[in-house]
Amino acid sequence: MTTTIESPLQQDWETWHRDREEQLRTPHGWLSLTALHWLDGTARAFDDLPGTWRVTGDGGVELTADGEAALDGTPVTGAVRLEPVDGQPGVLVEIGDRRVEVIRRTDDYALRVRDPRAITRTAFTGAPAFDVDERWAVEGRFEAYPEPRRLTVGAVVDGLQHFPTAVGVVRFALGGSEHELVAFPGKTGGLSLHFRDATSGTSTYGGGRSVALPDPDADGRVTIDFNRTVNLPCAFTAYATCPLPPAENRLAVAVEAGERTPPRPDLSA
């Protein structure tokens, strides 16, 4: 009997991938989204949600309820002001085992309902991915801009825009050609590359994918492991507001590495 010995790259990837799938499965993670309600200045009620919700016009959202909703375990009785931060995770309102996330996107506000019983979560079977291959781990070089640049990009929601801050470009060789991608700060350090490639819309999600990079060394060198390319939340749910990659971040090469287009049980149900 032949025993297959996995490479360190494969072993590390499997541990990373298990952690990634467990994070997706969390009760109030991205797979739990069941609704996205945009708000305006009129106090409105929404199906299956208690109270009324409205934009205050001065950077906040007002929730008026009668004890059916809670903040940090304290029931909301009367009107309470919520102040979500643009582009950041929202304020969570507790309604039983659900969470209503109050979000801000530039000057727009919305409610995102997170329900552990969402079919996108309960029917989740994992994030499909290409086979791990050493050739997709390449060395790049980061070149910082003299000053960070605020970009304007579209979103998966029609009419919505995002304004991410780019900090430089990463240059690398792939598929026999030289490429560069605009780089953004990573959420917990390092860099993030948000891109489309020749697989986008075929074997991978059409809205693009992203890969996290460690901090470059003193000479700007950095390893790009495309095996760890992931889908953005909008690949898993209809209720995310993901940004699209900047126009410059389109690779002509097919990056057959990382996560593939995931199944959507909400669309097939």
pLDDT in tens, the chain (269 residues): 455 567 889 999 999 999 999 999 999 999 999 999 999 999 999 988 999 999 998 889 999 999 999 999 999 999 999 999 988 889 999 999 999 999 998 889 999 999 999 999 999 999 999 999 999 999 999 999 999 999 999 999 888 999 999 999 999 999 889 999 999 999 889 999 999 999 999 999 999 999 999 999 999 999 999 999 999 999 999 999 999 999 999 999 999 999 999 999 998 75
Does residue 47 contact residue 36 with C-beta atoms inside 8 Å? no
CB 209 within 8 A of CB 258: yes
Q: Which of 57, 231, 85, 223 is nearest to 156 (CA)?
A: 231
- How far apart, in Å, are the Cα atoms of 47 and each of 50, 160, 168, 269? 8, 24, 45, 21
Torsion of the alpha carbons at 51, 54, 56 and 57, rounded to the nearest 10:
170
CA distance 5 to 19: 22
Rounded to a whole number of angstroms, the CA Rg of the chain reads 21
Question: pTM score, two decimals?
Answer: 0.90
Nearest-angstrom CA–CA distance, 204 and 125:
17
